[in-house]
Structure 1
Amino acid sequence: MNAHLLITLGLLAAAIAMFAIGRPRLDVVAVLMIVLLPITGVLTVPETLSGFADQNVVLIGALFVVGEALSRTGVTYRLGDWLSRTAGTSSTRLLVLLMVCVALLGAVMSSTGVVAIFIPVVLSIARRLRVSPRQLMMPLSFAALISGMLTLIATAPNLVVDAELRRLGHAGFGFFTITPFGLAVLVLGIVYLLFARRWLAGGEVGESEAERATFPALIAKYGLAARERRLRVGRRSPLIGLVPNAAEVRREYGLRILAVERSRWGQKTLTLGTEPHGLTVRAGDVLLADVSGEGAGPSLERRLGIAELPLGDGVFVQTSRELGLAEIILPPNSGALGRTVAELRMHHDYEVDVIGIRHGSTVVSRALATERLRLGDTLLVVGSWEAIRRLGAPGGDFIALELPAEVEERVPAASRAPLALLSLAVMIALMVTGIVPNFVAALIACLLMGLFGCIDLAAAYRAIHWPTLLLIVGMLPFAVALEKTGGIDLAASGLVDWLGGAAPSLILTGLFVVTAAIGMFVSNTATAVLMAPIAISIASHLGASPYPFAMVVVLAASAAFITPVSSPVNTLVLDPGRYRFGDFVKVGAPFTVVVLLVAVFLVPVLLPIHP
């Protein structure tokens, strides 16, 4: 064992120790390793910085952007709505559906991409059901890892092992050869996590969200529930042809049209009433409206030629991804003091409407338009989230209080959802067919989504989680260091000597353990490259079929459950799940044993060692 290998092992042990105690931050540890590897002479500077050129780093960065675009267009939230509706109030049903959806998607596209796409979905569902993200993020990453065990193309290690079999003259695996083992692991994984999620208790949503305003709380605070309406415009309605935000609509009909819901090409679109454009009301439109006290009454439908539709959760809650609510107050130097709401021309100048006023603890119930504003008043305004952000800009006449929790789920490009799905489909097709490398497919999707207006450059740069990328970049050079210093060769030769004469079941066990152990510190692709020839060589030495030994390497390479740096999918959920290093060890280690048992007992049954 040479000096450089000892240094490499020492640095690796130090990094793992710092990961375990959580100090310093994971990305800082990564930077520290980038500094120390060339200083100690283990690697050259180009070798140390090779992680920055790794295509997986580019892929992950691009997939952050793809996931953000899907969120901004509402695609991920619609999927989350389906999961939430189907699961109801059952956290058990939610976990099962989440893991099945992620595993099936990951079987035909990048598991890292699936996790990046589902993170905002899971966070949204967790907020709604008031479930801790800790109990959902790890099942998300585990399901993504299991997806690599479902098809040949699901993950790179599968293709590496298959290529090695073919290189040595064997037939290779079929597209679904691995599927029975993956399905068994998926079922066991769901059962296991239904039990193990109790180990992730704590950090409930209520701790961070309970004190934050929400739409239902604001609606109750300003007495809006009785004023919300969802109205379908009839063929003879006097509203037809009128501009939704026209003053006559409010004055003559006591109706404040907040948004117009219209079907177009089978796709529902929602246009805000505060937007300055030439939209006019048509027959068949669904109006989301705030009906004032003067306009409300039993004759509302007859006077306006409209039909009232069921509200469900309410107009404001239903439209919270496009239509924002926020409280604002008047500072002492505000030019709005002493003026009426009508005089402020909020709709014209700020593209928002005032729908509620409170003098201290008293809710104003009379006509808002004629109400004069006083120091200390709070106003509830409605408009697009972007308009609300502009309204609260520093130095203005208003100060915006903390925005409600629903701002995290805003969908500024909802009308672009079909184009976002088209871009996603192009990316998946390119990844499945292998016409271009995966990172190129992801970059093409990013460019398409930018071209279609699903995301802008500023949002794209904000979407990338740079600490995650830095952590991955800092750990990748260890694979180069272990190979360069002879650490991998030493381990491989020792494995052959150790397992060469053992019983087949013990050989499969040892092969799995060593592969999974290497995969804790080295990328699963590199692990497969190193272990596939060893596994096939052991089979040849025993005069056995190479397929069960190769399959054990495939399963072990994807069994990266034990540490947050074992796989990029674990790293991705580390921050949103508020996990520590030890959480993965506590939950991942027992489940790795479960996968080991599947490999040792099921693989020889379906792929006989001596055919």
Structure 2
Amino acid sequence: MFSIPHAWHAQYVFVVIGLAALLMASNRVRYDMIAILVVLALMLGDVLSVKESLAGFGNSVVVLIAALLVVGEMLERTGVARFVGDWIGQHSHSSINKLLIMLMIASALLSAVMSSTAVVAIFIPIVMRIAKQTGNSASQLLLPMSYAALVSGMLTLIATPPNLVISGELGAQGYAPLGFFTFTAPGLIVLGGLMIYMLYIGRKWLPNNGKSEVQSAQRSIKALWDDYRVNRELVYLRIDEESPLHSKTIAQSGLYDSYGIRILDLSQRVRGWRELKAGVSPDIVLHAGDVLHVAIPPEHHKRVEMEVGLMPFHPSQLETKYRSWEFGAESVLIHPESKLIGKSVREAKFRDHYGLDVFGVRRNRQSLENYQNQSLQASDCLLVTGPWAKILQLQRQNHDFVVLETPAEAADVVPAFRRMPVALAITAFMVLSSVFNWMPLVAAVLLSVIAAVVTRCLTAAEAYRSIHWQSLVLLAGMLPLADALQKTGGTDLIVNSLVGPAAEASPQTLLVLLFAITALLTNILSNTASAVLMAPIAISVAEQLGVSPYPLAMTVLFAASAAFMTPIASPIITLIVEPGKYRFMDFIKLGTPMLIWVFVCCYFLIPVFFPW
């Protein structure tokens, strides 16, 4: 190990910070690799001990952020975020202003309780669909949505990692940590200003890069249905109160033998709730009021209405969405070594063995008539329908089948949507625990993670996969820098350089300096790195002046979330560059007024909400 003279330790730490900043700004080295190099530099330079250099990896903030990423994955897999996005699309088609407001509010509020990066990633395809449906350019919707996700960092404690870093630093210095909604009030004012700015000024500056077109090589289920020339229509029918089908099983109903009706799924009232059953079996008992999703020959519509009381039913968009998450289709190829070769669909008892229905067979690009009774051959194509879970199981039968085509709807499936109420209850518990201080925040979030896995909102494997390890390594590697500055006297040097020239000035002068430095670091490096460096400095400056540390800590917090001006400062912004076809100057032009607005709010509002 080489050793730096103790007198030069502070200068050495500044050099390490400067080199890390240059590497980050170059955007050529992974941020997590830079963080590991920082840890090694502090360790090998004998600035910190091995234990001190690696202390960031055991920091409660790192554990908390990892757990919050799992909570965000829970909300995604249970459809909470997607439901909000689709609801926006359904209720705002008539007005671009209404659409912008709803998108920004939804993005900010969701990002306040889950990973804002995850929210933006979920919202991008939703916004693209909305843009296509409304004839708007996606470039006029994506940037306001992502800016609102950035502002969410000014709403709640768990919205972004810098908030947890600053709260943790306050606690480490002997002050009360921040509460869940400590700074929500000024944050809502910032959010309100963002919406007004985007509606009346920013909207005029947003680039119009043409109408959105969702490019996809995948076809819809309807296109597959038509391709196989299935002589049935997909419709919804409700069993009338006087129907003779009441209290009969599906096998006893005779719907297939008499009318050629195949039931794909049905919903029944169970203990006051309507329950969807995607995998129907012959022994299911039918009841009046049940809604059947069926494939029916077009000529039998009137007959079934008159003879067995099956009335046309038009489900709500929400019900249709739920069914699309449960019920799907796929085109598969018969493997040359498949055990089904030489057997017909009926002989193979396809539904009994795989839980799926075959609705068409193609051979040499031609649809087969009476396909259920024809012997299957190698390379025959089958259109199978049923629950997505069964379709996934079929994909694993790679000795019998080869997946030929998966429809576009598969990308939108929410695997655990039935657990949505549970996910909402878990999130509510986490928020309330923090608000009312029932237990430490890290304990509440870890309990939420355990509850999410136990209640099957997601599996343990999915929980681990949801953790963004690169971000955690970045944070854990940068945290020791603050300790190194404190230990070597680097923090005192920075504090004295700030306090000295402004000794006769008001504390608000230092607020201006801290905001400028933090905002500059945030837009060049990352918000996490800027918070790690500036939080202890803000607290030390306040102590030197003999004032409360909270106003300056809040200044760092707000400035760390003001990464509006460059597309590399935050993954929240980076994600939208390609789908929105934005240029670097778009962010400079639209982000500069927002940065000024955040500064104005800090200058005038923070001393009001957090007195000196």
Q: State TM-score, norm by structure 2.
A: 0.80
Q: Does the 8 Å CA contact 1:150/1:178 hold for their aligned counterparts?
A: no
Q: State whether structure 2 residue 514 is matched by structure 1 residue 479.
A: no
What is the rounded CA distance, in whole Å, between the counterparts of 2:289 and 2:319 in structure 1?
A: 18
Q: Could you tell me how far 1:157 is from its partner in structure 2?
A: 7.7
**Residue of 319, 337, 347 corresponding to 2:323:** 319
**Residue of 248, 272, 276 corresponding to 1:270:** 276
2:135 corresponds to which residue? Answer: none
Closer, same or farther: CA 173–490 of 1 in aligned 2, 3 Å: same
Q: Does the 8 Å CA contact 1:478/1:522 hold for their aligned counterparts?
A: no
**Residue of 51, 60, 63 corresponding to 2:65:** 60
1:218 corresponds to which residue? Answer: 224
Aligned to 2:372, the other structure's residue is in SS state coil
**Residue of 418, 436, 457 corresponding to 2:460:** 457
Q: State whether structure 2 residue 129 is matched by structure 1 residue 128.
A: yes
> Between Structure 1 and Structure 2, how many residues are aligned?
589
Q: State whether structure 2 residue 512 is matched by structure 1 residue 509.
A: yes
1:29 corresponds to which residue? Answer: 34
Q: Could you tell me how far 1:321 is from its partner in structure 2?
A: 1.0
What is the rounded CA distance, in whole Å, between the counterparts of 1:609 and 1:73 in structure 2?
A: 42
**Residue of 266, 272, 296 corresponding to 1:260:** 266
What is the rounded CA distance, in whole Å, between the counterparts of 1:374 and 1:202 in structure 2?
A: 49
Q: Deviations over 1:64-119 (max 9, x none)?
A: 3223333333333322332222233766544422332354566xxxx363537735
Q: Could you tell me how far 1:349 is from its partner in structure 2?
A: 0.8
Q: State whether structure 2 residue 304 is matched by structure 1 residue 297.
A: no
What is the rounded CA distance, in whole Å, between the counterparts of 1:229 and 1:356 in structure 2?
A: 18
Q: Deviations over 1:281-339 (max 9, x none)?
A: 2221111111145x733222122212111267799766221112211112333333443
Q: Does the 8 Å CA contact 2:239/2:311 hold for their aligned counterparts?
A: yes
Please, which moves more after superposition, 408-417 or 583-592?
A: 583-592
Closer, same or farther: CA 224–551 of 1 in aligned 2, 3 Å: same
Closer, same or farther: CA 115–242 of 1 in aligned 2, 3 Å: farther
Aligned to 1:320, the other structure's residue is in SS state helix
What is the rounded CA distance, in whole Å, between the counterparts of 1:335 and 1:197 in structure 2?
A: 63
2:155 corresponds to which residue? Answer: 147
Q: Deviations over 1:42-68 (max 9, x none)?
A: 433222322221222222222232233
Q: State whether structure 2 residue 50 is matched by structure 1 residue 45.
A: yes
What is the rounded CA distance, in whole Å, between the counterparts of 2:445 and 2:312 in structure 1?
A: 45
Q: Could you tell me how far 1:159 is from its partner in structure 2?
A: 6.3
What is the rounded CA distance, in whole Å, between the counterparts of 2:574 and 2:49 in structure 1?
A: 30
What is the rounded CA distance, in whole Å, between the counterparts of 1:21 and 1:91 in structure 2?
A: 38
Q: Could you tell me how far 1:26 is from its partner in structure 2?
A: 3.3
Gaps of 5+ in 1: none
**1:74-85 maps to which residues of 2 (within 5 A)?**
74-85=79-90
Aligned to 1:287, the other structure's residue is in SS state strand
Q: Does the 8 Å CA contact 2:107/2:120 hold for their aligned counterparts?
A: no
What is the rounded CA distance, in whole Å, between the counterparts of 2:185 and 2:392 in structure 1?
A: 52
What is the rounded CA distance, in whole Å, between the counterparts of 2:97 and 2:26 in structure 1?
A: 31
Please, which moves more after superposition, 114-123 or 194-203?
A: 194-203
Q: State whether structure 2 residue 537 is matched by structure 1 residue 530.
A: yes
Letter in 2 for 1:483: Q
Q: Does the 8 Å CA contact 1:145/1:560 hold for their aligned counterparts?
A: no
Q: Could you tell me how far 1:583 is from its partner in structure 2?
A: 9.5
1:357 corresponds to which residue? Answer: 361
1:306 corresponds to which residue? Answer: 310
Letter in 1 for 2:116: V
**1:45-194 maps to which residues of 2 (within 5 A)?**
45-88=50-93, 93-104=98-109, 111=112, 113=114, 115=116, 118-119=119-120, 121-123=122-124, 125-126=126-127, 128-129=129-130, 131=138, 135=143, 138-148=146-156, 155=163, 181-192=186-197
What is the rounded CA distance, in whole Å, between the counterparts of 1:21 and 1:92 in structure 2?
A: 38
1:370 corresponds to which residue? Answer: 373
Q: State whether structure 2 residue 379 is matched by structure 1 residue 391.
A: no
2:235 corresponds to which residue? Answer: 229
Letter in 2 for 1:356: G
Q: Does the 8 Å CA contact 1:74/1:413 hold for their aligned counterparts?
A: yes
Closer, same or farther: CA 219–471 of 1 in aligned 2, 3 Å: farther
What is the rounded CA distance, in whole Å, between the counterparts of 1:95 and 1:291 in structure 2?
A: 42
Q: Does the 8 Å CA contact 1:516/1:556 hold for their aligned counterparts?
A: yes
Aligned to 1:79, the other structure's residue is in SS state helix
Aligned to 1:43, the other structure's residue is in SS state coil
Q: Could you tell me how far 1:146 is from its partner in structure 2?
A: 2.9
Q: Could you tell me how far 1:529 is from its partner in structure 2?
A: 4.5
Q: Could you tell me how far 1:246 is from its partner in structure 2?
A: 7.9
Closer, same or farther: CA 73–510 of 1 in aligned 2, 3 Å: closer
Q: Deviations over 1:175-231 (max 9, x none)?
A: 989555333311232355663897798899857x52233335434534569601111
Aligned to 1:499, the other structure's residue is in SS state coil
What is the rounded CA distance, in whole Å, between the counterparts of 1:185 and 1:402 in structure 2?
A: 47
Q: Does the 8 Å CA contact 2:157/2:180 hold for their aligned counterparts?
A: no
Q: State TM-score, norm by structure 1.
A: 0.80
Closer, same or farther: CA 63–181 of 1 in aligned 2, 3 Å: closer
Aligned to 1:212, the other structure's residue is in SS state coil
Q: Does the 8 Å CA contact 2:333/2:381 hold for their aligned counterparts?
A: yes
What is the rounded CA distance, in whole Å, between the counterparts of 2:426 and 2:314 in structure 1?
A: 35
Q: State whether structure 2 residue 19 is matched by structure 1 residue 11.
A: no
Closer, same or farther: CA 254–457 of 1 in aligned 2, 3 Å: same
Aligned to 2:314, the other structure's residue is in SS state coil
Please, which moves more after superposition, 514-523 or 316-325?
A: 514-523
1:420 corresponds to which residue? Answer: 423
Report % sequence identity. Answer: 30
What is the rounded CA distance, in whole Å, between the counterparts of 1:213 and 1:473 in structure 2?
A: 44
Aligned to 2:102, the other structure's residue is in SS state helix
Gaps of 5+ in 2: 1-5, 133-137
**Residue of 469, 475, 480 corresponding to 2:472:** 469
Aligned to 1:23, the other structure's residue is in SS state coil
Closer, same or farther: CA 19–197 of 1 in aligned 2, 3 Å: farther
2:403 corresponds to which residue? Answer: 400
Q: Does the 8 Å CA contact 1:69/1:455 hold for their aligned counterparts?
A: yes
Letter in 1 for 2:129: R
What is the rounded CA distance, in whole Å, between the counterparts of 2:283 and 2:23 in structure 1?
A: 60
Q: Does the 8 Å CA contact 1:4/1:485 hold for their aligned counterparts?
A: yes
What is the rounded CA distance, in whole Å, between the counterparts of 1:203 and 1:480 in structure 2?
A: 50
Aligned to 2:276, the other structure's residue is in SS state strand
Q: Does the 8 Å CA contact 1:73/1:415 hold for their aligned counterparts?
A: yes
What is the rounded CA distance, in whole Å, between the counterparts of 2:479 and 2:122 in structure 1?
A: 29
What is the rounded CA distance, in whole Å, between the counterparts of 1:254 and 1:430 in structure 2?
A: 56
Task: Report the aligned-residue RMSD.
Answer: 4.5
Q: Does the 8 Å CA contact 2:150/2:572 hold for their aligned counterparts?
A: no
